[in-house]
Amino acid sequence: MDNQFFVCVYFDGIILTTTVGCIFECRQQIAMRFNRNVSLDDMKGRINAKIVRRCGRRISKLFYKFPVSTNPIKFTEMELVDDEDVETMIALYCGNGSDKMHRFTYLLS
């Protein structure tokens, strides 16, 4: 399982900016597991397949959030636009021992 990571994908909602940075406020979420060497296209394809079955809509953008401060804790969001962004996201989360990351998807109507 070391070559995989767990993701909680939030969709059908919005990204809000609060005192703790960004938060994902959504009506639906799905849990998924990916290999660490996943490409952005493969990740989007698998997420799309699950979301389309649930609500009939497709991904337009994919974001993840990560901590930028620990005292106080504060998060920021980053859009995934290419495979390098995916590698950076995995290094940030898997490198610090985190077992779960949070993603937000904007959906097309």
Residue ranges per structural domain of the chain? 4-108
How confident is the model at residue 48, as a pLDDT? 93
Distance CA 28, CA 71 (A): 30
Contact 35, 4 (CB under 8 A): yes
Contact 109, 60 (CB under 8 A): no
User: Regarding predicted confidence, which is higher, 102 or 41?
Assistant: 41
Q: Mention the CATH class of domain 4-108.
A: alpha beta
Strands (E) across 1-109 are located at 4-18, 21-35, 58-70, 73-79, 100-108
Whether pTM > 0.75 for this model: the answer is: yes
Contact 5, 34 (CB under 8 A): yes
pLDDT, tens only, 45-100 = 999 999 999 888 888 889 988 888 888 888 888 899 999 999 988 887 766 555 55
Torsion of CA 94, 45, 64, 96, to 10 degrees: 0
User: Regarding predicted confidence, which is higher, 39 or 67?
Assistant: 39
